[in-house]
Amino acid sequence: MRADNLGRLATLRDRILDRAGVRPDDTVLDVGTGQGLLGIGALLRNAPDGRVIFSDVSEPLLADCRAAVAEASALTRVSFVEASATDLSPVDSGSVDVVVERAVLLFIEDRERALAEYHRVLRPGGRLSLGEPLNSWMAVDRPGYVWGYDVTEVIDLERKLHDVDEALNAPAAALVRGFDDRDLVAMARAAGFRRVEVQTDLQLAPPPARDDVDVFLDTAPNPLASTTRSLIDAALTREEAERFVAALRDALRKGRGERRQAMTYLRATK
């Protein structure tokens, strides 16, 4: 599973950077950098004199990026900014050639403000390239399914988990499902981008077979969501929990179900 995830992230990184058209000597701003996936990739593309600004609200994540960049011996071409996507004030207006980000707007209420900030920091002719999961399509309620795995044999228990999840996480769920690709186009145009292009990938496929039910139970689909184990603890009796986990384990081992994957890639020019 880890190898699959790393491969998927590498493909996503390259798609975003390819669409950004990162060139040697470009100054690139990586918004919501996290562990630096895009920014470190950009450093390989804008050498020898290009710069990358790593921006995130988390100082510990920025510290991780510093360590990774130090290993790559590229500290002379980087800077680190603790800032949110909706307030990039540490970055001067018209000072960067490229803005890139991955799965940032997903967790922001004021997405229009973030896109306006992306537009502000770009030089005339600068490019924005981002990739955002489309939870408006991926995360629709499908009774009897957990993350795409088919547990319809215990649909009564799955519905109990669903109801508790809705009660605990309704505002967060509404946030991460709150836009689609057409909304992104409209927001980018409203922010002042003069050329906007979106490509959306939608995929339906059986989920991967796996034999790590405990890892599955302790992993949340996004940072705002509850883990399946916490929902079980809140919604089910001990006997119900045992029955649900047995059904889930079987579904995971057999790769039984149907998983939705959706990613939108937006490219825009100032």
142 shares its domain with 120 = no
Asked if residue 123 and residue 31 are part of one domain, the reply reads yes
Domain that holds residue 143: 137-171+205-259
Q: Do residues 73 and 161 share a domain?
A: no
Does residue 199 fall inside a structural domain? no
Q: 83 with 146, same domain?
A: no
Residue 191 to residue 185: CA distance in whole angstroms: 10
Provide the residue-wise pLDDT of the chain in tens; the chain has 270 residues. Answer: 434 554 678 999 999 999 999 999 999 999 999 989 999 999 999 999 999 999 999 999 999 898 888 877 778 899 999 999 999 999 999 999 999 999 999 999 999 999 999 999 999 999 999 999 999 999 889 999 999 999 999 999 999 999 999 999 988 888 888 899 999 999 999 999 999 999 999 999 999 999 999 999 999 988 889 999 999 999 999 999 999 999 999 999 999 999 999 999 999 999
Count of domains forming the chain: 2
Q: Check whether residue 74 and residue 19 sit in a common domain.
A: yes
* Domain shared by 19 and 102, yes or no: yes
Q: Same domain for 82 and 27? A: yes
Q: What is the DSSP string of 116-184?
A: HHHHHHEEEEEEEEEEEE-HHHHT---TTEETTEE-GGGHHHHHHHHHHHHHHHHHHHHHHTS--HHHH
18 is a domain residue: yes
SS3 (DSSP) at 209 = coil
DSSP state, 106? G
